[in-house]
């Protein structure tokens, strides 16, 4: 036993050293690289997860921002004037002078001129492609020069309607005795007149203009905050109207209109297929042309 013991121990000592060497080979030498590989792998996985999380967050944020941008510049409705639309913050002065510009009393030539300066550029040429996309190619009014189709923009119709309400307020001035034919009167008083069965021009209040503008107000949904204040001599809170509004830059739009407007009164440009030139003489077509409202000097 003792005999076998020795070689065993001897062998074991030699093998132990071999083992330890082997163990060293297996354990100590490859070990350090093995732990760094592991930690590297762990780090890789960790960073991989982080990158994935960040990417997901990034994609979500960008998509949200994008959908907000598309909502802001939403092309829900195609308009030829889209390129002219610039969002601006505007504070409306409420000092009391401004109403004189368009709603002054009594009416003056200057006031008429301001309205007509806008309304004379209220008709435009729409392309065949646009008319097709809007499903209006068949009924559209084709300009005789083949350059496109006659159209306007709603903002001009609203302005026209406001002018008509103003004219109604001053109806004696605008619709007093006039040396005009019935049709001319009818046309001039557009939105506020109709022809009686005996062909008399009857003045009616422009309530449909009010309704159109009411819808426009709802359509725009101006959510500018308005705050209140107290005045020392007035018990009821009074509003401070000087908050900024989200507006379309009107001057940019008007510039676009000036560059792109057409004058439908240009002789021969707008012709009814059976009744003849729309805006010339006392053509019966005046009755049908009342949806358009270019100013006389336009």
Ligand X SMILES: *[C@@H]1O[C@H](CO)[C@@H](O)[C@H](O)[C@H]1NC(C)=O
Considering all CA atoms of the chain, what is the largest pairwise distance in Å, rounded to the nearest integer? 147
Taking CB under 6 A as the rule, does residue 181 contact ligand X?
Answer: no
- Closest distance between ligand X and the C-beta of residue 240, in Å? 4
Minimum gap (Å) between residue 71 Cβ and ligand X = 28
Q: Pick the closer one to ligand X by CB: 23 or 98.
A: 98
Instruction: Check residue 179 for interaction with ligand X (CB under 6 A).
Output: yes
Supply the DSSP string of 95-139, one letter for each residue: SSSTHHHHH-SS--HHHHHHHHHHHTT--EEE-HHHHHHTT-TTT
What is the CA angle 35-36-40, rounded to 5? 120
Beta pairing partners, 277: 271
**Rounded CA separation 191/174 (Å):** 13
* Minimum distance of ligand X from residue 179's CB (angstroms): 3
Number of residues engaging ligand X in binding (CB under 6 A) = 3
Per-residue x/- track, 123-162, ligand X (CB under 6 A): ----------------------------------------
Q: Which is nearer to ligand X, 4 or 179 (CB)?
A: 179
Q: Is residue 240 at the binding interface for ligand X, with CB under 6 A as the rule? A: yes
Report the residue from 34, 73, 196, 242 that binds ligand X according to the rule CB under 6 A.
Answer: 242
Closest separation between CB of residue 178 and ligand X, Å? 7
CB distance 248 to 87 below 8 Å: yes
Shortest reach from residue 174's CB to ligand X, in Å: 13
Q: Where are the beta strands (DSSP E) in the chain?
A: 87-91, 124-126, 149-151, 193-195, 201-203, 227-231, 234-240, 244-248, 271-272, 276-277
Q: Which is nearer to ligand X, 139 or 222 (CB)?
A: 222
Residues that bind ligand X (CB under 6 A): 179, 240, 242
């Amino acid at each position: 036993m003792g005999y076998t013991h020795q070689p065993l121990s001897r062998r074991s000592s030699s093998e132990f050293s071999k083992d330890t060497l082997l163990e060293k080979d297996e354990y100590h030498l490859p070990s350090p690289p093995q732990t760094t590989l592991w930690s590297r792998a762990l780090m890789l996985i960790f960073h991989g997860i982080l990158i994935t999380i960040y990417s997901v967050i990034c994609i979500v944020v960008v998509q949200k921002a994008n959908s907000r941008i598309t909502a802001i510049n939403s092309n829900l409705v195609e308009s030829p004037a889209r390129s002219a639309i610039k969002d601006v913050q505007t504070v409306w002065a409420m000092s009391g002078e401004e109403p004189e510009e368009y709603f002054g009393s009594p009416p003056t030539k200057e006031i008429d001129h301001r309205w007509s300066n806008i309304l004379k550029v209220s008709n435009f040429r729409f392309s065949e492609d646009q008319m097709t996309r809007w499903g209006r190619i068949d009924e559209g009014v084709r300009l005789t020069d083949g350059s496109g189709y006659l159209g306007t923009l709603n903002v001009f119709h609203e302005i026209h309607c406001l002018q008509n309400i103003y004219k109604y307020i001053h109806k004696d001035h605008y619709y007093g005795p006039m040396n005009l034919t019935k049709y001319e009167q009818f046309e001039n008083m557009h939105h506020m007149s109709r022809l009686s069965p005996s062909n008399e021009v009857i003045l009616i209040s422009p309530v449909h203009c009010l309704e159109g503008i009411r819808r426009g107000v709802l359509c725009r949904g101006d959510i500018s905050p308005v705050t209140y204040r107290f005045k020392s001599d007035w018990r009821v809170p009074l509003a401070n109207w000087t908050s900024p509004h989200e507006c379309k830059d009107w001057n940019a739009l008007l510039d676009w209109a000036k560059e792109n407007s057409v004058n439908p009164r240009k002789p021969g440009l707008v012709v009814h297929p059976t009744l003849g030139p729309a805006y010339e003489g006392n053509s019966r077509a005046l009755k049908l042309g009342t949806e358009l409202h270019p100013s006389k000097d336009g």
